Amino acid sequence: AAVESLKKEGLTALFHQLDISDVLINNAGIAFKGRIVNVSSVMGSEALSRCSPELQACLRNNDITEEELVGLMERFVRDAQEGVLAEILARNLTKERPGDEILCNACCPGWVRTGMAGPNATKSPDEGAITPVYLALLPAGAKEPHGQFVSEKKVQPW
C-alpha cells in the first residue's frame, strides 16, 4: 500500500522484504537536495538512556543552541577519528554478548555513482558494495576485523 501511495505521487518506490536477523548495515548520507531519514530499532532509541547523565541532559534539552550541538558533534567526530567510539562499542559487544560473536566494524564504500554523489563518481554501486558485503559475510567464528575501520576490504587507520 505504501509503494502504491508513493507511485500515485509520482515517486519511484520498490518494496523489498528484508531479514536483518544476521546482518545490519547502517548507511548514512546527506545532500542538500535530499531528505534525511534515520531508521533505528527500539534498542537504538533506548541507547540514550545508556549515555552519561550529562550527555542525556544536553541531548534532551529543547533549548540546546547550535553552538552547543556543534560542540557535541565535534567531540563525537574527534572520538570517532581516534577510534574511541568503535573500540567502546566493539568492547561492549565482546563483554556483554560474548556468545553472540558479533563483529562491529565501520566501512567506507568510496565515491559511488548514486543520485546523491552524481554520475562522475568513480565507483559503480556494485563496486561500492564490495567492502560492506565483505564485512557482512565474514565467516562464522571470525574474530577479526572487530572494532576497525575498513576500506577496500582492508583495515585502515581511523
Confidence of residue 46 (pLDDT cuts 50, 70, 90): low
Predicted local distance difference test score (pLDDT) of residue 143: 87
CATH topology of domain 2-39+82-156: Rossmann fold (3.40.50)
Quick check: 32 pLDDT over 80? no
Predicted local distance difference test score (pLDDT) of residue 158: 61
Supply the pTM of this predicted model: 0.53
The four Cα atoms 54, 56, 59, 65 give a dihedral, to 10 degrees, of -20
The residues facing 117 across adjacent strands are none
Predicted local distance difference test score (pLDDT) of residue 20: 60
Q: How far apart are CA 133 and CA 63, in angstroms?
A: 41
Rounded to an integer, the average pLDDT of 105-129 is 88
Higher-pLDDT residue of 9 and 37 is: 9
Higher-pLDDT residue of 150 and 29 is: 150
CA terminus-to-terminus distance, the chain: 43
Instruction: Give the residue among 134, 145, 157 at the shortest CA–CA distance from 25.
Output: 134
Predicted local distance difference test score (pLDDT) of residue 119: 93
Would you kindly state where each structural domain of the chain is located, as residue ranges? 2-39+82-156
Query: Using one digit for the tens of pLDDT, what is the confidence trace for 69-109?
Result: 889 888 878 877 776 666 676 776 677 667 777 788 888 88
Task: Tell me whether strands 106-107 and 149-151 are parallel, antiparallel or unpaired.
Answer: parallel
Lowest mean pLDDT among 11-15, 64-68, 89-93, 135-139: 89-93
CB contact at 8 A, 120 and 143: no
